[in-house]
Structure 1
């Protein structure tokens, strides 16, 4: 029993972030029977901070998946077990062989090809049983092995035991394809892949529930919403390629007959929807993962730190002109230049002039912790909810470096690949509500920070410029801050400095 137990390794849900207690299993990339290697990604999980792919630290064959997709699992619980010695017989099997008991023939041996006569099937089955390891049934590479019982004594009849009904279709397809791969096609038209039947002619899903595909191809299929079971493989040994997946997306959708129109209801009143269900009048969306963590953090911040919000409206036309000039600057070639870049630079200069704004409140020690570095957070709306990754040590970056860091931060966030580490340690945040056409707002502080700057929409408005009313590009900034450590004077001076820099961008040079 000790030898048998040592074959299996259990992988527990890790703490992929700082202090996380649970994670939801979004997607399994493997199934029982699949062969895995050390470092191979086996699943994707969503924590309260981000979606993370988990690699397995073992070589072997997947033995069991403990939880289905969509399940929230506590950190420390076993989620998958791996057989690290799939070719080793169990203790009971070894003992039976030592006592002189003949091993039983596999109960799920694949049937002979249809062209063979019944008399020829028995020798073929016997040869297959002799070549296969004890207690295992050979199937296609990449599909793992099927465990069979070795406790039953061998039957005295020469005919092989019948396979379970649920396994017959898969094993028939496996045996047929294996024969073609070995050059032993059925009937007189054999000849392997050059024979009468090619891999591309095999209907989708004929090889069983686990199509052959490499992890990058599985990721591509997931992103494109393609079911690999419906993809026709063209790669070597029946492996699905990227082109196969893209071909499914490019193929025209089959036309379906329109459903017959029923009588239109008049004055119909739908019944109320029960909790946890969805109907035509409302939809219930479970709150979990990033959204759940964001909701808890915002409630905690709003009712812990006394918020104060101030606003300033100003002419940003000169900064917008500078943005257009920088877009053609060779030194910034290849990086995205937009108003957010210069707003971030203006904020960093204003922090240098008002260092007290870049601080936090230590409740346990009743201290104000002033930071001498700026980890600049950028609030990003993603399909999983609002996240705030930050640019580490933004105060030390040149304008091209800051532009590249902001571009990478936003693109990674939109792809849902932001790591928990990228969202930790922020000191001050920018939230750009102007992209939604909003003039301004009263943002809630990111937990652990003391100030957040909301950037409103930039619009053409009538404005007094050089004594005349002219159409100018105008915007509004809103600053929320923790009034425990930032008083009205400090908050006002900081906000006024940001606005002054953006109104006269030459101060980016004169105030440094």
Structure 2
């Protein structure tokens, strides 16, 4: 019988914190055995293949046990912490894991189901069959005739006459075979009693007869035993090398990039542009109260994101995805703008939902929240799902440009290089100007060269003349 102490212990299982995730690594415990917890209190932080997530406990009580140490990868659905809730509402007693076994019934019997309302205890998934008495009834089957001589005759076998069951005399010694097979055995001089049957119900087939007259297979020659030394254990110089297990976000990113690179035919185009006016506008927006950006983070990435959204509005076919199963191009009438972010746990790409509908201040606010959340490692799995187009800013690392790989399920990704002061022909004269290189990679199954070029040229033109093309005075 379950004791009151056992009944008051609740097991909290690893939840699926994202869509379709199967495991998560416990990064940090915030509680220890003996600590008091309340409903909604965060007890640990876990890392999935998509992000680090904090897990709240769903009830009040005292921590009895932590089932796994930090750094352990645990399958979804596995209990990770036990909490004694006896101080609050008692949990229902668990059903015993397995009911006592019932004495075996006579062969040929089957369990009879009780009708609903008969008082039989229902079966709970995962707890076995509840203890109850059952009634048996004879199994339906072929009739069995018993003679006075205790000879049991089985049903007829497809025209081969009645077959004697074990315990009979006359029919027991006669092998089962069809007439053509019997004639074949007679012609080959094979005694059917010595043939091993392979047919259904023990019937000898033609193949069995031929196998009986085939020459025996030669005895295999056993090679002399060779002593094989055990495989050496892989070792390395820890002073010269460090090995880091690939898991969590890094593992998921690697798999996604390999899948994208070998699934979507990538094409990358480049353009080098003068962004001096864009850089001047950034400084103007920081100082001015006219545009409603007070207290918000304003940088070149904000204007580049706005420029890309304008280019997508003008060329909506770039915002699409490829449906391999249905062989369809799916045009998206919304833009979930992904921003690639480098974090200590690896590269992640959260996205701004419905970025196409946001004003410049709203876009600035969303960008600020996205970046700060990513740096803290608190990006939720939902924030990284459903992206349509991505921007990756490699310029922050001093890199001129790159050939970015598409985020899986997206049609295009824009790489922004470092903005540097370079000699540039401006109004017929060589002058120092702020210059950068943009690279646009796109899925050539649904974006041809003309469309990709138009989008990249549009982004470049907007950044060269940001006020006029975005519509500001």
| Deviation, structure 1 residue 276 | 8.0
Aligned residue in 1 for 2:247: 288
- CA change 1:276–1:49 in 2 (3 A) is farther
Go from structure 1 to structure 2 and tell me whether the alpha carbon gap of 1:18 and 1:389 turns closer, same or farther (over 3 Å shift): same
Q: Which residue of 1 aligns with 2:417?
A: 456
**For 2:73 and 2:271, how far apart are their aligned partners in 1?**
44
Q: Is the 8 A contact 1:360 1:448 kept in 2?
A: yes
Question: What SS does structure 2 have at the residue aligned with 1:491?
Answer: helix
C-alpha separation between the residues in 2 aligned to 1:468 and 1:14? Answer: 64
2:347 alignment partner, one of 386, 411, 416:
386
Structure 1 residue 82: Cα displacement: 1.2
Contact 2:389 2:412 in 1 (8 A): yes
Q: 1:463-489 CA distances to partner (integer Å, 9 max, x unpaired)?
A: 111111111111100000001100111
SS at match of 2:311: helix
C-alpha spacing 1:38/1:510, structure 2 compared with 1 (3 Å): closer
| Equivalent residue number for residue 393 of structure 2 | 432
Alignment gaps of 5+ in structure 2: 91-231
Alignment of 1:53-452 (within 5 A): 53-85=54-86, 279-330=238-289, 331-452=292-413
Q: Distance in 1 between matches of 2:44 and 2:472?
A: 50
Q: Is the 8 A contact 2:417 2:437 kept in 1?
A: yes
Q: What pairs with 1:42-57 in structure 2 (closer than 5 Å)?
A: 42-57=43-58
Tell me the secondary structure at the aligned position of residue 470 of structure 1: strand
Q: Moved runs in structure 1, 4+ residues, more than 6 A?
A: none
Structure 1 residue 277: deviation in Å?
6.8
Change (3 A) 1:468 1:442: same
Distance apart, 1:510 and its partner CA: 4.9
| Secondary structure of residue in 2 paired with 1:61 | strand
- Contact kept, 8 Å, 1:32 with 1:62, in 2: the verdict is yes
Select the structure that is richer in helix.
1
Q: Which has the larger radius of gyration?
A: 2
Aligned position for 1:171: none
The answer to whether the 8 Å contact 2:249/2:345 transfers is yes
Q: In structure 1, what is the Cα distance between the partners aligned to 2:405 and 2:472? A: 29
Hey, what's the Cα distance between the residues in 2 that align with 1:87 and 1:72?
31
Are the counterparts in 2 of residues 40 and 56 from structure 1 also a CA contact under 8 Å? yes
C-alpha distance in structure 2 between counterparts of 1:88 and 1:431, whole Å = 51
| Corresponding residue for residue 2 of structure 1 | 2
Offset of 1:279 from its aligned partner?
Answer: 1.4
The unaligned stretches of length 5 or more in structure 1 are: 90-272
